[in-house]
Amino acid sequence: MDNQINDFEDSILEQAEKRRVQDFDDLQNELGGNDVGRIMRFLSADARAHLIEKRTGKNLNGLNALEIMLLTNPEYARAYEGAMNALEDAEFATERALIKLEAKLETAKAGLQLSLDNAAELTDGTKVFSDKGNKFKNENGDIIDDDLATQIELQGNEPSYETYSEDKNSVQMLENSIYEVRVYQTDVLGNARARLSNTTSPESKENVMDIKDNIRSQRPELVRLEMQNEDLSKTIQNAQHFEISEPQI
């Protein structure tokens, strides 16, 4: 399982490096005065050709309503790019959060199963655990009748009820976290991508800005932390590509 987690982390790092390199290349183009803005990512081949050839005065047909807005309205294009960047960052962070949560859930479930496997049993197979007050309880926390408790044979390696409860709660909390992140992934990010991908009836600039705000305001804490870690990583990595020159005297 450790190898599987390492593979996930390697994949995440590889994707992050590719995005960092792309961001760096975009920055270098901008610094070099090359008008190849990142908005090109959102255009079809026809729209890109139109952008490249517009200086010649040629007009290309076949552009959709969204592309026309992006090509003719700079303020809209900036708002749209900001929303798409926020969406892509959130999607990437959400995937990372889910990978980590699911790995932790697998470990937690294994721990819970081990507690169940080592638990004492009644004659009918009911799993029972002794609590710190030396009372036996079943999986639901119900106290076992004293007459039944006297029939329990202990081997010495049984987990306590507190240990079992902790294992069970860990699984439940992780399942709840995964559910929360998946709801965000589907209801917030999925809806945002659908709205931003509407090529026939593009969202207004105000709606595009609202979509961006909603992506950030609705994100679960675990996704926020992943985005924060990614921002820090990109800052460190980008800084390593710039040399600070000695002042000339």
Express each pLDDT in 100-125 by its tens digit: 999 999 999 999 999 999 999 998 89
Q: For the chain, what is the mean pLDDT?
A: 80
The answer on 178 and 236 residing in a single domain is yes
pLDDT at residue 55 is higher than 50? no
Structural domain ending residue among the three candidates 11, 29, 56? 56
Tell whether 73 and 108 lie within a shared domain: yes
Residues 32 and 83 in one domain: no
Give the residue from 19, 38, 56 where a domain finishes. 56
Evaluated on CA atoms 180, 181, 187, 192, the torsion sign reads positive
Within this chain, do residues 47 and 104 fall inside the same structural domain, yes or no? no
Do 227 and 180 lie in one domain? The reply is: yes
Q: What is the pTM of this model?
A: 0.70
Give the mean model confidence (pLDDT) for residues 38-47: 59
Please state the domain count of the chain: 2
Indicate if 237 and 194 belong to the same structural domain: yes
Least confident span in 37-46, 68-77, 166-175: 37-46
The tens digit of pLDDT for each residue in 187-207 reads 999 999 999 999 999 999 999
Residue 135 lies in a domain: no
Can you give the residue range of the structural domain that contains 195?
Answer: 65-119+159-243
Which of 21-25, 32-36, 155-159 comes out lowest in average pLDDT? 32-36
Angle at 76 between CA 70 and CA 81, to 5 degrees: 75
Distances (CA, A) of 243 to 143, 191, 198, 239, 240: 68, 42, 43, 8, 7
- Enumerate the β-bridge partners of residue 136: 130
Same domain, 218 and 97: yes
Task: Kindly state the helix (H) or strand (E) to which residue 127 belongs, with its residue range.
Answer: strand 127-130
Instruction: Let me know whether 44 and 167 are in one domain.
Output: no
50 and 94 together in one domain: no
pLDDT at 13: 55
Instruction: Write phi, then psi, for 111 (nearest 5 degrees).
Output: -65, -40
pLDDT band at 247 (very low <50, low <70, confident <90, very high): very low
Assigned domain for 136 exists: no
Statement: residue 245 has pLDDT above 50: no
Residues 83 and 42 in one domain: no
Please check whether residue 150 lies inside any domain of the structure.
no
Judged against a pLDDT cut of 50, whether residue 244 lies above it is answered with: no
